[in-house]
Amino acid sequence: MALVSIRSVNKVYDGNVHAVKDVSLEVRDKEFMVFVGPSGCGKTTTLRMVAGLESITSGDILIGDTVVNNLPPMDRDIAMVFQNYALYPHMSVFHNMAFGLKMRKFEKPEIDKRVRDAAAILGIETLLDRKPRQLSGGQRQRVALGRAIVRHPQVFLFDEPLSNLDAKLRVQMRVELKKLHERLGTTAIYVTHDQVEAMTLGDRVVVMKDGIVQQVGEPLELYNSPANKFVAGFIGSPAMNFADVTLAESDGKLWAEAQGLRISIPGEMARRANGRNGAHATLGIRPEDIHLAGPADPADLCFDAEVEVIEQLGSEIVLDTRVGKSAFVASVDPNLRMKVHDRLKLAMNPARLHLFDAGSEAAI
Amino acid sequence: MAVTAVSGSVARPIPRLRRMEDERWLAFALLVPTAVLLGLFIAYPFVEGVLLSLNSTRVGIKGEFVGLKNFDKVWNDSIFRTSVWNTFWYTGVTTVFKLALGLWLAILLNRHFRGKALVRAFILLPFIIPTVLSTFAWKWMFDPTFSVINWTLFQLGFITQRINWLGDPDLAMTSIIIVNVWRGVPFFAISLLAGLQTISPELQEAAAIDGARPWQRFWHVTWPLLLPVTMVVVLFSVIQTFADFQLVYVMTGGGPANATHLFATYAYQLGIGTGLLSEGAAVSLAMFPFLFLIVVVQLLYIRRVETR
């Protein structure tokens, strides 16, 4: 039993910087929960409050059934992996991993067994006598993980643990972290600014911005039904296209209109947007949901675009196009041949259209 | 055109400048100023000092070679023996206090509080004031008649009689030690603070999560990481304190009854005050083996830290 409940938690620094605003969420037992958002969104502060490294201005944090608001970090039964690893530079790998057990007065044979088990899991048995400075970034990362897992804590806390690794190693460690979590099944909270890490690692993902939780959900839920324009733009790469449109009713249909663009809004969404005739809104569509128009595509989902940049990625072509005053990015079939300044007819997948309120930016 | 003109002028032989293009000559030329300065102001006086200590020179009398006679004489001199003991006692006690108080201050100053920069600057004051001036101020504070310390203790009811701070041999030594600690703590505090600031706060947090209590965090994390800085600061301080002169000279002049002489002040009194130049030289040379040992230890330690 190790669920983490965060209930109406606020953090105010020096009486004026409101870093975390009324955050409430539940991390379920054995769940891998990812906090994601741009820097300064309050995700790390929230994590540090769970760890006990920051005080809570108001609200409650529970680990299991215990309110831990005023418990020091050592009594919360958590382990944390820091962004810069925070390995003790004067201790060998063995002693780095053993330190927490030693402080908790474990017997020598037990310490030895646990450290060697963790080292075996992480493939660092041969490094136990080395000092941190003799290790590569990836090895240090493993030691930091090892230090966390020897303790068998109730909750793992990760503070951007992969951000100091190079791109290739990051992908590799991401996979290993996922495997490790499946093997240990410990509840984990993982903070990152990288939406790819969030999507690939998280059982569920919390998107934060300006100290406020924007949406909590499974990765695909965030991807398919973002709650607002921020989540829509933050999750997914290349990012979702947005166009400022005016909604207009005619011929019994609802149209999203902008210069060079006139798209009919499909039935269900049109019903939700009922009564917005003449209102401004933001139309959203992901690059992969735009394709080169064919004879089967109805005219009310097509638009003309001028190619500005062609990015050939091998598996796909990413086109930067201009449509009136809006820019649209489309990812299309890699076998197509085209040139810059070509005029193309593109079509949107109606099931994948998004519409956001122009003021509140909430999904319609 | 310009390029050919330049290369043409280089091609013309200018012997002295050409020689500088050879790195060995250049290195030699660059080293000469330093070598001259070191030779003139360190090596020459040192050799003169050694020669003087092997002679029987006095002020106005050119002496002759007497071998180790001066050292023998000094060795059997009870004031010299007191000076040796005093120097070690003075160095040892002040270093312990300076380290303890300096570390304590450094840890306090390493926290965040309002006016941090101002306090840090303020702390350095005793270190910045010329020693002779501040020591004179202290001398007045310890003055048997006008002592502000005595006055305060008297008003608070702790004493009924004057304390003769500088007149009693033991108290005089204690007074000097107090002033030295007062003067030396800022150096320790600021150097150790600089050392503390190189230790990532993440390590403290990691240790807190690992279950270490504040004292354990200091002992297992902060102290070992601060040790290299501490060693260097201590060794610097030991060298300076061991060869201290101004403080004792101004406060007591070595008195009362030669009870507070250090190597340096006794060497000065014997050589310059009494005119026994060669015996004074022998006393000051007696410091050499100890200082040499300290420097060797320091260099070995620094090399070990650098290579690990």
Q: What is the pLDDT along chain A (364 residues), one digit of tens a residue?
A: 589 999 999 999 887 888 999 999 999 999 999 999 998 898 999 999 999 999 999 999 999 888 999 999 999 999 999 988 999 999 999 999 999 999 999 999 999 999 999 999 888 999 999 999 999 888 999 999 999 999 889 999 999 988 888 888 888 889 989 988 998 889 999 999 999 999 999 999 999 999 999 999 999 999 999 999 999 999 988 899 999 999 988 888 888 988 888 898 888 888 888 878 888 999 999 999 999 988 888 888 999 999 999 998 888 899 999 998 889 999 988 888 888 898 989 999 988 999 999 888 889 8
Give one DSSP letter per residue of A239-290, joined into a string.
Answer: PPEEEEEEEEEETTEEEEEETTEEEEEPHHHHHHTTT-TT-EEEEEE-GGGE
Peptide bond into A238 cis (omega under 30): yes
Distance, first Cα to last Cα, chain A: 38
Interface contact A103-B211, CB threshold 8 A: yes
In a domain, B189, yes or no: yes
More confident residue, A218 or B153: A218
Chain A: residue whose CA lies nearest to B207:
A100
Residue B207 touches chain A, beta carbons under 8 Å = yes
One domain for residues A218 and A303: no
Does residue A318 lie within any of the structural domains?
yes
Q: Could you give the number of structural domains in chain A?
A: 2
Helix B277-307 vs helix B78-109: crossing angle, to nearest 10:
30
DSSP 3-state assignment of B287? Answer: helix
B82 and B45 assigned to the same domain = no
Do B139 and B47 share a domain, yes or no?
A: no
Q: How many CA atoms lie within 13 A of A190 on its CB side?
A: 29
The CA-based angle B178-B181-B182, given to 5 degrees, is 85
Contacts of B220 in chain A (CB under 8 A): 88, 99
**Residue B270 falls inside a structural domain:** yes
Q: How many CB atoms lie within 10 A of CB A175?
A: 11
pLDDT band at B5 (very low <50, low <70, confident <90, very high): very low
Phi, psi angle pair for A157, to nearest 5°: -120, 125
**Residue in A80, A83, A141 to test binding to B, most B beta-carbons within 10 Å:** A80
Cα gap B200→B55, rounded to integer Å: 58
The domain boundary residue, chosen from A234, A266, A290 = A234
Domain of B199 in residue numbering reads as 78-307
The answer to whether B205 contacts A89, with C-beta atoms less than 8 Å apart, is no
The DSSP output letter for A90 is T
Q: Cite the DSSP H helix spans in B124-200.
A: 125-128, 131-141, 148-155, 169-197
d(CA A323, CA A327): 6
From the list A52, A88, A104, the residue facing B221 with the nearest CB is A88
Chain B: closest CA distance from residue A208 (Å): 24
Does residue A336 belong to any structural domain of this protein? yes
Record: contact B209-A84, CB cut-off 8 A: no
ipTM over 0.85: no
Domain shared by A219 and A256, yes or no: no
Residue A362 lies in a domain: no
A167 & A287 share domain? no
Q: Are residues B294 and B147 in the same domain?
A: yes
- Whether residue A219 is contained in a domain is answered as yes
Mutation for B interface: A88, A91, A141, most B CBs within 10 A:
A88
Tokens representing residue B49 in the block? 């000092």
CA angle B218, B116, B237 (to 5 degrees): 60
The answer to whether A78 faces chain B, any CB pair under 8 Å, is: yes
Min Cα separation B216/chain A (Å)? 8
Q: Do B206 and A88 touch (CB under 8 A)?
A: yes
Are B38 and B184 found together in one domain? no
Distance CA A124, CA A132 (A): 12
Strand A155-159 relative to strand A4-13, pairing: unpaired
Same domain? A210 vs A125: yes
Minimal Cβ distance to A103: which of B200, B205, B210: B210
Q: What is the spatial distance between Cα A195 and Cα A202, in angstroms, rounded to a whole number?
A: 10
What is residue A225's DSSP assignment?
S
The two tokens of residue A261 are 């663009």
Is B208 within 8 Å of A73 when comparing Cβ atoms?
A: yes
**Does one domain contain both B46 and B180?**
no
Edge-to-edge strands, sheet with A58-63: A17-27, A4-13, A58-63, A66-67
A112 lies in the same domain as A178: yes
Q: How far is CA A193 from CA A86, A198, A206, A217, in A?
A: 20, 8, 11, 17
Contacts (Cβ under 8 Å, ≥6 apart) of B92: none
Contact A218, A204 (CB under 8 A): yes
List, for residues B180-215, the tens digit of each pLDDT value.
Answer: 999 999 999 999 999 999 999 999 999 999 999 999
Name the nearest CA neighbour of A100 among A149, A157, A48, A49: A149
What is the number of other CB atoms lying within 10 angstroms of the CB of residue A92?
17
* Strand extents, DSSP E, chain A: 4-13, 17-27, 32-36, 58-63, 66-67, 78-81, 155-159, 187-192, 204-209, 212-217, 241-250, 253-258, 261-265, 280-285, 290-292, 302-312, 317-323, 326-332, 343-348, 354-357
Q: What residues form DSSP beta bridges with A261?
A: A258
* CATH number of the domain encompassing residue A339: 2.40.50.140
In the sheet where A155-159 sits, what is the strand order?
A78-81, A155-159, A187-192, A32-36, A204-209, A212-217
Structural domain range at position A281: 241-357
- Closest CB to A86 among B203, B220, B224: B203
Residues B92, B143 share a domain: yes
**% pLDDT > 90, chain B:** 33
